Amino acid sequence: MSLATKIEETIYQTLAEKHGEEAIDNINKDESLITAGLLDSMDFITLLMNIENTFEIDIDFEEADPVSFTAINGLVKLLSEKQHA
């Protein structure tokens, strides 16, 4: 399983814990999870810390665009690129 897939799974797991398994089927992967009301900013930071610890990635969002990196696709892309860099 690729890193990107594993990260995506972790994100879905967090969302399922908060909203239930049924709620995660119809999530728009390009919409910000915060704008969609699925996570608040503290939930999001907690999720990032989890991913950082689990996959040993150093997070640096200095130049990242918050609208895109708070969406599932944007976050997975950003984090898996970091790993290869």
Partner 1 sequence: MKISEQLLTTPKEQNNALFVDGQHYTYEQLKKAACAIADQLGKDNAKIGILSYRNIEYFASVFGCIITNRTFIPLGVKFPIKRLISIIEQSGLKHIIYSPSYADIVEQLIQYLPHVTFCAIDTAFIEASLQMTIEVEKLENNALAYIMFTSGSTGSPKGVPISFSNLASYSNYMTKYLGLTYQDKVSQVFDPTFDLSIHDMLITWLSGACLYVIPEVAMLAPGKFIKKHELTVWFSVPSTAAIMAKLGMLKQNAYPLLRFSLFCGEPLPVDLAKQFQLAAPNSKVINLYGPTEATIACSQHVFDSTRAYAHSYVPIGEPFEHMTMVADAQGELLISGEQVFCGYLNNKRKTQESIKCHQEKTYYHTGDVVKHNDLGELEYISRLDDQVKIQGYRVELAEIDTVSKALLNNPLVQSIAYPKAIPQFIALFICGQADKNIEQQLITSLKSKLPSYMIPKKVIWLDTMPLNSNGKIDKLVLHATLENI
Contacting positions for partner 1 (CB under 8 A): 32, 34-35, 40-42, 44-45, 48-49, 59-67, 69-70
Q: How far is the CB of 62 from partner 1 (least distance, A)?
A: 5
* Residue 40 contacts residue 34 (beta carbons within 8 Å): yes
Q: How far is the CB of 1 from partner 1 (least distance, A)?
A: 26
**Nearer of residues 32 and 80 to partner 1, judged by Cβ:** 32
